[in-house]
Amino acid sequence: MPNDTQISKFMSLVLRHAPQEAGLTLDENGWADLGALCAVIEHKFGASATDVARVVAENPKKRFAIEGDRIRAVQGHSVDIDLGLQPSAPPAILYHGTKQEFLGAILREGLTSQSRQHVHLSKDVETALIVARRRKGKDVILRVDSAAMAGDGAPFFLSDNGVWLTNHVPPRYLQEISERELP
């Protein structure tokens, strides 16, 4: 039985960052040929197209979308693509999970997209904690005053899997949540 986590990580790599690793080409909206990806995954992992469809359907973070004979990652790209998302009014408050070691730079520079196209924000503290816990170190959750940002003209986008995206969060819109406020 193929390892779904390995398949999902490989799909994230080639659909978000390095399509050339699988001999794929992403169109301007990030779509790749599903059959071509399945052929690479079958060769690399021994997994069938049915396995790929299951990995997409059962992915808890809903990272991928299939439309006909095409597949794409729904957000998190470092390659230049246009997801075709329309600006959306965000909730008044959003959250970002990170680590203590990055807090100083964040409070100086704000949240930047780093190598990705957008900053990723969560609609609740619990999701932000899950994000923060992906790396070792002390968890930090930041509250983002998204209502004020949007009021000041910052665009927000809602990805297909419920992740809020924006270009940059300046420090003035950030506040660290104290440990006693965390669930």
CATH label of the domain that carries residue 32? 1.10.10.970
Q: What is the pLDDT of residues 85-108, one digit of tens each?
A: 899 999 999 999 999 999 999 999
**Average pLDDT score over residue span 30-58:** 95
Distance, CA of 1 to CA of 157 (rounded, Å): 37
- The last residue of one of the domains, among 45, 73, 101, is 73
88 belongs to a structural domain? no
Give the residue with greater pLDDT, 111 vs 183. Answer: 111
- pLDDT grade, residue 57 (50/70/90)? very high
pLDDT for position 169: 98
Residue 54's domain spans which residues?
Answer: 4-73
Distance, CA of 183 to CA of 180 (rounded, Å): 8
84 belongs to a structural domain? no
Q: How many structural domains is the chain composed of?
A: 2
Query: Which distant-in-sequence residues (6+ apart) come within 8 Å of 139 by Cβ?
Result: 97, 99, 100, 129, 132, 133, 182
**Residues 57 and 102 placed together within one structural domain of the fold:** no
Residue 2, pLDDT > 70, answer: no
Which tokens belong to 13?
């790599």
Asked whether the whole model's pTM tops 0.85, one would answer no
pLDDT for position 140: 93
